[in-house]
């Protein structure tokens, strides 16, 4: 039998709410909590309206919103060979929580190719030419958005968030300034979900990012990405505050995409993503990023407000 719980009872503060905080829940207790959370139904039907078949700046996009008000904008960049609708669960939740989510379909969405311009195994060889088509998509959207049919829903054209999964994380980090030629000053907040960060980390370019807020999420089963993300002198450490990191126990690289084994993570992932963009784009309470749920899947929680 499923238990139904309400969000207002979920959260408890950690011991500290400033500086850098770490929490690791290891062993059988963490495993038991993760298994228990699978049985809890915290979701609800999405009210987000999804608009497809339209372009902004010549780029085909999916746009999610809940009404006709004005909203802060979040641009979503999908993983290599994926498409925006593969992450509908998270994107619709963000739209439900008061954001205009614009998701371009990159070239590899149409081709299905998972082979990047530069080999995955050679991060030192990546340059600002590597998968530059993604940069071009984001630039085209930002240039054309004020003149598009969606402009009337945009609260602020100069303070925009970028959220990306896998290669989408690489894209967002790039337009935040990790590749200086990709930089767009409108990108104020970056949420990188199991991001392809190694070209920037190994070339010491993470510190070149010029956004004001950065969030990383990883998983304990995401062996190719998360360890270097959270390692000493790794990506999180190289990132300029304000910065936040959550690692979810049992989450693999595809945990952010839709699927029966992934959905169990999405409510808690969205809690942190929403709190992050609220803090960055709505001047919300940063302390929400220092809380963990009473039966949380988060096994590592780090933050540095600045």
Q: What sign results for the dihedral spanned by CA atoms 108, 111, 117, 119?
A: positive
E-strand ranges in the chain read 3-4, 11-13, 40-41, 49-56, 59-65, 73-77, 100-104, 160-165, 187-193, 213-219, 243-248, 291-293, 298-304
Q: Give CA–CA dist 171/179, Å, rounded.
A: 10
DSSP secondary structure code for residue 154 in this structure: B
Angle between helices 263-281 and 88-96 (to 10 degrees): 40
For residue 88, what are the domain limits? Answer: 3-304
Q: How many residues does the chain have?
A: 306
Q: What is the CATH number of the domain that holds 292?
A: 3.40.50.1820
The confidence band for 21, taking pLDDT boundaries of 50, 70 and 90, is: very low
Beta-strand relationship, 160-165 and 73-77: parallel
pLDDT at residue 7 tops 90: no
Number of domains composing the chain:
1
User: What is the number of alpha carbons within 13 Å of residue 72 lying toward its C-beta?
Assistant: 23
Lowest-confidence pick of 36-50, 85-99, 116-130, 268-282: 36-50
Per-residue pLDDT of 204-257, as tens digits, reads: 999 999 999 999 999 999 999 999 999 999 999 999 999 999 999 999 999 999
Contact 176, 203 (CB under 8 A): no
Please state, in angstroms and rounded to a whole number, the distance separating the CA atoms of residues 146 and 168: 23
Confidence category of residue 45, pLDDT binned at 50, 70, 90? low
Alpha helix (H) residue ranges in 78-131: 88-96, 107-111
- Angle at 115 (CA atoms; ends 221, 256), nearest 5 degrees: 35
pTM for this prediction = 0.86
Q: What is the mean pLDDT of the chain?
A: 87
Share of residues in the chain with pLDDT > 70 (%): 85
Question: Tokens representing 168?
Answer: 């989408």
- The least confident of 36-45, 91-100, 104-113, 141-150 is 36-45
Confidence check: pLDDT of 148 > 50 = yes
């Amino acid at each position: 039998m499923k238990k139904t719980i309400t969000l207002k009872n979920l959260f408890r503060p950690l011991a500290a709410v400033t500086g850098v905080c770490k929490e690791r829940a290891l062993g059988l207790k963490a495993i038991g909590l993760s298994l228990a959370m699978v049985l809890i139904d915290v979701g609800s039907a999405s009210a987000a309206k999804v608009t497809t078949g339209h372009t902004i700046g010549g780029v085909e996009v999916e746009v999610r919103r809940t009404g006709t008000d004005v909203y802060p904008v979040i641009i979503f960049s999908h993983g290599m060979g994926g498409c925006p609708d593969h992450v509908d669960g998270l994107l619709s939740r963000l739209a439900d929580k008061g954001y205009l989510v614009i998701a371009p379909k990159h070239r590899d969405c149409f081709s299905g190719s998972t082979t990047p311009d530069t080999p995955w195994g050679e991060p030192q060889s990546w340059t600002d030419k590597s998968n530059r088509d993604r940069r071009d998509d984001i630039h085209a959207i930002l240039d054309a958005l004020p003149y598009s049919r969606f402009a009337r829903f945009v609260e602020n054209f100069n303070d925009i968030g970028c959220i990306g999964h896998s290669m989408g994380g690489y894209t967002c980090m790039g337009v935040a300034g990790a590749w200086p030629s990709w930089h767009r000053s409108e990108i104020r907040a970056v949420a990188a979900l199991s991001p392809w960060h190694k070209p920037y980390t190994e070339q010491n370019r993470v510190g070149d990012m010029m956004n004001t807020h950065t969030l990383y999420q990883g998983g304990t089963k995401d062996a190719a990405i998360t360890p270097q993300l959270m390692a000493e002198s790794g990506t999180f450490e190289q990132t300029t505050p304000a910065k936040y990191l959550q690692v979810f126990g049992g989450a693999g690289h595809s945990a952010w995409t839709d699927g029966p084994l992934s959905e169990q993570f999405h409510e808690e992932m969205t809690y942190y993503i929403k709190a992050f963009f609220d803090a960055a784009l709505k001047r919300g309470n940063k302390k929400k990023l220092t809380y963990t749920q009473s039966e949380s899947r988060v096994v590592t929680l780090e933050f540095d407000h600045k």
